[in-house]
Amino acid sequence: MIELSLREVTKRFHRGGEIVCALDRVTLDVPAAQFCVVMGPSGSGKSTLLHLVAGIDAPTSGTVIVDGRDLAAMSDDERTLLRRRRIGFVFQFFNLLPTLSALENAALPLQLDGVRRAEAERRARDLLGDLGLGDRLDHRPHQLSGGQMQRVALARALVGDPALLLADEPTGNLDSRSGEEVLALLRETATVRGHTVLMVTHDERAASVGDRIVHLVDGRVGSDTTTARAAAAR
Amino acid sequence: MLTVVGVALGVATLVAIDVVNGSSSATIDELVSAYAGRATVSVRAASGTLPADAVATVRRVDGVRAAAGSIQSALLVGEDRRALPYLAGTGDEAALRDHVYERGAAPGDGELAVGGSAARRLGLDVGSRLPAIAPTGPRELRVSGILADTGVGRANGGFVAVLSFAEADRMAQRDGRLDAVDVVTAGDADAVARRIEAALVGSTAEAPAERGERTKRLVASLQDLLRILSALSLFVGTFLVFNTMSIAVAQRKRELGILRALGARRREIVGMITVEAAALGTVAAIAGALAGIAMAQGLLAAVNRQIRLNFVAGLDDQLVLPADRLLLLVAAGIGAAVVGALGPATLAAAAQPSEAMGAPRHTSVARPLRLRLLVLAAVFVALAAGAVAVQRGADDPAPGSAAALALMFAIAVAAAPALALGVRAAGPLADRIGGLPARLARDSILRATGRAAVTAAALAAAVTMVVGMASFIESQRRTIFEWLDQAVNADLFVSAAPLGGNSAPIPIDARLWDDLKRVDGVRDVDRFRQVRIPYEGSYVAISSVDIPIYLTRGRALYAPGTDPYPIERMVGRDEVLASDNFARKHGVAQGSDVTLLTPDGPRAFRVVAIVTDYTTDQGLMLMDRSTYVSRFRDEAIDSYAVMLDPSADRARARAGIERLQGGTLFVQSNEEFKGGIRRIVDDFFATTYVMEAIALVVGVLGVANTMLVAVLERGREIGVLRAVGATRRQIRRTILIEAGAIGLAGALLGLLGGAALTVVTLTVSESTTGWVLPYHYEWGSAISVTALATVAAVLAGWWPARRAARVEVATALQYE
């Protein structure tokens, strides 16, 4: 089953009177439960691709289909609900709300969705426990290490049991040990929980945990390869 | 844009009040100085008028070079029976005053000359005929000349007339008695003045400027009240500037960070922002000054109506715009903009460039309660309480103004801890009702308590003004109106001009008394006269009535603690009823003697009882007419109080009276009379509502500002919320709840402030007027202004909320 599909997607920006083409007729299919890594140098269009998939930006042309639905045909509210219920998002800088505890941050999408606070926090607590943060539930972000913050962010992304997990340079702001821990968790997410993962990175080592690596060069797909790990698994 | 609005509104209020106060004072000055001409000493009767031979007596005094006597009264002209002040001189008139005619000549019998403004507004020229009402009835006078705008012609801004002495003497039924003798002296004017007082018993002689000052002191308490209010408005306005500059800085945080990274020094950043604030402030202050002048026009009428009613007949509503004062006020506005910008500018400059350039950082949660701020607030409250205590013994409102200011500072300082406490206390309940948006709003306030507190404080200051003034006004209104209902009990009032109308009472024909009594249905007629005489450095009003008649229509309203006195015994005796405020101000007790300056010199009067009276804030003494006429040698009558037979046909009796004196009399029923007084009181207080409304608007704009800053600073967070699934509506709700919470907190704090401000204003009022008003907290205003401030705050949050909901998520999340 195809979880995510991009058809001839182009994105152009106006910048300083010039038109910059961030993505140029990109076509990409990601099947369910695949861990797909998008790599490329700065400005190659990887973040733009992620934003288009998340529905927080719209393509200039082409079609983006997530969870079987064409994003362009949906209203802003529908796209928001899709993000809330079917997509998890992990950022480079964690983006936790500073005033909320780890537990509250993790429970946020459920609470936004109207799940009762006790129920939302119960589910968040279980998940944080699984991610090794059972003793950090009441800590605020500034009381946590980088790796711990990224795990809270991961819990927030996973708490609604999404079909698709988007990760934007999730190890970019972590030391190598914490980075490896987070990558292992992402890997587990795809393998054990069966979530589809789309991760953007420019770190070769990070990319190696994926099933497939798509290289973007100047907004186009330069190469699309299966990783050794995936080949071995096959 | 909001900086401009904030400064402009602040300056507008300041300019409006200053122009109004300045205009009233300047017009009073002009009237006094134009009438006094070249006089170095001005002689007036301590009470009533000077004898006909006063000029001759004064001329004989050593050191007097020239002396001119004058009648200074007013005619009622135009359809609205507006008072046109006039002067009629005798003696060395040419040596004292310049009468310069633009056209025509000096008036003779049956004639008058008018100033330029009077000619224009009444449509007069040489040869025109002006129907006027004098105490002796309607007269038609021929205009003999138009005065040039100099000398007497510039008095009251040219809304003035000159009559021949003989004509004025006849019209005012003076028999040669004078209002003033103006004197040119040789040598020490003070010494000459003392010699004149000795030669002319019962007179006071002083420099014209002193007299102007004393007249202005009469209106000072009125002006002080307005000044306190306008200062409070500017106080609120400065908050807004602080807020808007915070926005400007927040919006350009990144740009400033880059400048710093490239080597701009801190003081250069501060300088840059300050210069920008000064530029905006200049535009705003000029716009504000123009708006203020427009506002002043409306306010002046209401303020002058009070002044005319109580103090200066015929005072004209002319706007005086001194360029130097206006420049000063514009400079004050620019200063406020710069001061308001300094805080945000310094903060911006203090930030590390990397921090300012927008790399994400983790803001710590709200700091623990700021005990120090609470202590400081307590200190300000203590200062305010101390100033109130000092005010109790003072007769000018300076300590009260200081108390009001200290109170505002207390509110400003207490706002942050109070907001934090309130938000924490209300948190669990708010979360239950408002869900996650309420929770996020609460966190946002707690995280930026300082900024939210500045806004809450501005709103609190505005609500304090509204509730404090409403309570003070209501305390006054209730007391005055209740007293009015008891004290005013004649059926009809007859006067030459509408009582409580556009002019101070001018005397009415004394011969009407008999005519009135003959009207069918009239049971009795009381003659009322009130003059103001100097007393212990200020003035006291002397009222006289026909006590036996007065007693048939009512009873004395004894002040608490006063023993009743058989008032009918006062007839023909040197006995007075003293108003409670006079007794309090001058420490006079029942049974003691007060010495009043009469035309025959100082004379002792026995205070037989203290009565409740709200006629004048100077204090009043009531005596029988026979005593008044014989001791003060003044037979003039201001108005008649008519009692009808219970069985009489009221409409017919009234019509009968209205036919007298060619139908020119002004007749008011009891209800109309009281209604007129009520209207004037309410009109005056209405002027304060304008300022309160401005403060409230400025306060609410502050909320819009604060929420905008909050939205700008939290763009990234809002982006994250949207990315993890918050709908636009949820974002909007978060912002609106935050705005409403700040509004509500400010309003609640303001309710406390209002209660305290009421104590301050009542104390000022008690010590300057001697009236003890019962404390009345105006709950109606309190509740409605709280609702208004909260709803307005939510509305003010609408635009920032919209902006937040429309945040471009992808842009907000960008950090590379």
- Helices and strands (DSSP H and E) totals, chain B: 25, 19
Choose the weakest-confidence range: A169-178, B134-143, B345-354.
B345-354
Share of chain A above pLDDT 70, in %: 98
Helix/strand/coil for B49? coil
Q: What is the pLDDT of residue B708?
A: 81
Residues of A in contact with B440 (CB under 8 A): 97
Instruction: Tell me which residue in A56, A85, A160 faces B809 most closely, judged by beta carbons.
Output: A56
Give the nearest chain B residue to A51 (CA atoms): B810
User: Under an 8 A CB cutoff, do B365 and A140 touch?
Assistant: yes
- Whether the CB of A42 is below 8 Å from some CB of chain B: the reply is yes
User: Under an 8 A CB cutoff, do B724 and A112 touch?
Assistant: yes
* Alpha carbons A118 and A110: distance in angstroms, whole number: 11
Summarised one tens digit per residue, pLDDT across range B624-651 is: 999 999 998 888 888 899 999 989 899 9
User: Under an 8 A CB cutoff, do A156 and B724 touch?
Assistant: yes
Rounded to a whole number, what is the distance in Å from the CA of A119 to chain B's nearest CA? Answer: 14
Residues of B in contact with A77 (CB under 8 A): 727-729
Tell which B residues from 431 to 450 touch A, by Cβ distance under 8 Å: 435-436, 440, 443-444, 446-447
Instruction: Tell me which residue in A48, A108, A140 faces B724 most closely, judged by beta carbons.
Output: A108
**Residues 6+ away with beta carbon under 8 Å from A179:** A147, A171, A203, A206
Rounded mean pLDDT of B126-150? 88
Summarised one tens digit per residue, pLDDT across range B370-391 is: 688 889 999 999 999 999 999 8
Summarised one tens digit per residue, pLDDT across range A89-138 is: 888 888 888 888 999 999 999 988 888 889 999 999 999 998 889 999 99
User: Under an 8 A CB cutoff, do B724 and A93 touch?
Assistant: no
Tell which B residues from 280 to 299 touch A, by Cβ distance under 8 Å: none
Q: What is the pLDDT of residue B87?
A: 92
CA B628 to the chain's CA centroid: 33
Q: What is the pLDDT of residue B661?
A: 82
Rounded to a whole number, what is the distance in Å from the CA of A210 to chain B's nearest CA? Answer: 23
Q: What is the pLDDT of residue B365?
A: 34
Instruction: Tell me which residue in A83, A89, A112 faces B730 most closely, judged by beta carbons.
Output: A112
Backbone φ and ψ of B13, nearest 5°: -65, -45
Residue in B447, B403, B418 with CA at minimum distance from that of residue B750: B418
- B732, B813, B814, B815, best to mutate vs chain A, most A CBs in 10 Å: B813
Give the nearest chain A residue to B441 (CA atoms): A99
Whether residue B562 has pLDDT greater than 80: yes
Q: What is the pLDDT of residue B13?
A: 77
Rounded mean pLDDT of B150-165? 88
Whether residue B69 has pLDDT greater than 90: yes
Q: What is the pLDDT of residue B549?
A: 86
Q: Which residues pair with B138 in a beta bridge?
A: B133
Instruction: Tell me which residue in B362, B435, B723 faces A54 most closely, judged by beta carbons.
Output: B723
- Whether the CB of B815 is below 8 Å from some CB of chain A: the reply is yes
Residues of A in contact with B438 (CB under 8 A): none
Q: What is the pLDDT of residue B359?
A: 42
**Residues 6+ away with beta carbon under 8 Å from B395:** B585, B767, B768
pLDDT confidence of B364, banded at 50, 70, 90? Answer: very low
Q: SS3 for B272-324, per residue? A: HHHHHHHHHHHHHHHHHHHHHHHHHHHHHHHHHHHHHHHCCCCCCCCCCCCHH
Length of chain B in terms of residues written: 816
Residue with tokens 């007769």: B395
DSSP state of B592: -
CA distances in angstroms from A112 to A104, A155, B720, listed in the order given: 11, 15, 13
Q: What is the pLDDT of residue B362?
A: 36
Question: What single letter denotes the amino acid at residue B229?
Answer: L
Instruction: Tell me which residue in B363, B364, B723 faces A56 most closely, judged by beta carbons.
Output: B723
User: Under an 8 A CB cutoff, do A56 and B435 touch?
Assistant: no
- Whether the CB of A23 is below 8 Å from some CB of chain B: the reply is no
Summarised one tens digit per residue, pLDDT across range A168-202 is: 988 888 888 888 888 888 898 888 888 899 999 98
Residues of A in contact with B815 (CB under 8 A): 92-93
Residues of B in contact with A89 (CB under 8 A): 723-724
Instruction: Tell me which residue in B435, B723, B728 faces A89 most closely, judged by beta carbons.
Output: B723
pLDDT confidence of B360, banded at 50, 70, 90? Answer: very low
Q: Which residues pair with A66 in a beta bridge?
A: A4, A69
Rounded mean pLDDT of B99-112? 93
Residue in B740, B798, B710 with CA at minimum distance from that of residue B449: B710
A42-51, B392-401, B525-534, B748-757 — which one is most confidently predicted on average?
A: B748-757
- Whether the CB of A112 is below 8 Å from some CB of chain B: the reply is yes
* Alpha carbons B251 and B298: distance in angstroms, whole number: 39
Choose the weakest-confidence range: A4-18, B255-269, B742-756.
B255-269
Share of chain B above pLDDT 90, in %: 28
Rounded to a whole number, what is the distance in Å from the CA of A111 to chain B's nearest CA? Answer: 7
Rounded to a whole number, what is the distance in Å from the CA of B295 to chain A's nearest CA? Answer: 47
* Alpha carbons B501 and B541: distance in angstroms, whole number: 19
User: Under an 8 A CB cutoff, do A77 and B716 touch?
Assistant: no
Instruction: Say how many CB pairs under 8 Å bridge A and B.
Output: 85
Rounded to a whole number, what is the distance in Å from the CA of A29 to chain B's nearest CA? Answer: 22
Residues of B in contact with A98 (CB under 8 A): 362-365, 447
Q: What is the pLDDT of residue B306?
A: 65
- Whether the CB of B727 is below 8 Å from some CB of chain A: the reply is yes
Residue with tokens 């002044």: B307
DSSP state of B539: E
Residues of B in contact with A157 (CB under 8 A): 724
* Alpha carbons B495 and A51: distance in angstroms, whole number: 84
Residue predicted with more confidence, B89 or B701: B89
User: Under an 8 A CB cutoff, do A81 and B440 touch?
Assistant: no
Mean pLDDT of all residues in chain B? 84
Residue in A165, A100, A198 with CA at minimum distance from that of residue B724: A165
Tell which B residues from 693 to 722 touch A, by Cβ distance under 8 Å: 716-717, 720-722
Residues of A in contact with B721 (CB under 8 A): 97, 108, 112
Rounded mean pLDDT of B297-318? 68
Rounded mean pLDDT of B386-413? 87
pLDDT confidence of B503, banded at 50, 70, 90? Answer: very low
Q: Check if the beta carbon of residue B23 is closer than 8 Å to that of residue B296.
A: yes
Instruction: Tell me which residue in A76, A84, A142 faces B362 most closely, judged by beta carbons.
Output: A142
Instruction: Tell me which residue in A76, A85, A141 faces B362 most closely, judged by beta carbons.
Output: A141
Residues of B in contact with A91 (CB under 8 A): 720, 813
Q: What is the pLDDT of residue B525?
A: 93
Q: Check if the beta carbon of residue B212 is closer than 8 Å to that of residue B27.
A: no
**Residues 6+ away with beta carbon under 8 Å from B180:** B35, B42, B43, B44, B50, B69, B70, B72
DSSP B711-771: HHHTHHHHHHHHHTT--HHHHHHHHHHHHHHHHHHHHHHHHHHHHHHHHHHHHHHHHHH--
Residues of A in contact with B727 (CB under 8 A): 77, 80-81, 112
Q: What is the pLDDT of residue B816?
A: 38
Q: What is the pLDDT of residue B413?
A: 87
Tell which A residues from 146 to 165 touch B, by Cβ distance under 8 Å: 156-157, 160
Whether residue A51 has pLDDT greater than 80: yes
Residues of A in contact with B723 (CB under 8 A): 54, 56, 83, 89, 95
Share of chain B above pLDDT 70, in %: 91
Rounded to a whole number, what is the distance in Å from the CA of B346 to chain A's nearest CA? Answer: 25
pLDDT confidence of B352, banded at 50, 70, 90? Answer: low
Q: What is the pLDDT of residue A6?
A: 94
Whether residue B3 has pLDDT greater than 70: no
Residues of B in contact with A97 (CB under 8 A): 440, 443, 717, 720-721
A209-223, B13-27, B528-542 — which one is most confidently predicted on average?
A: A209-223
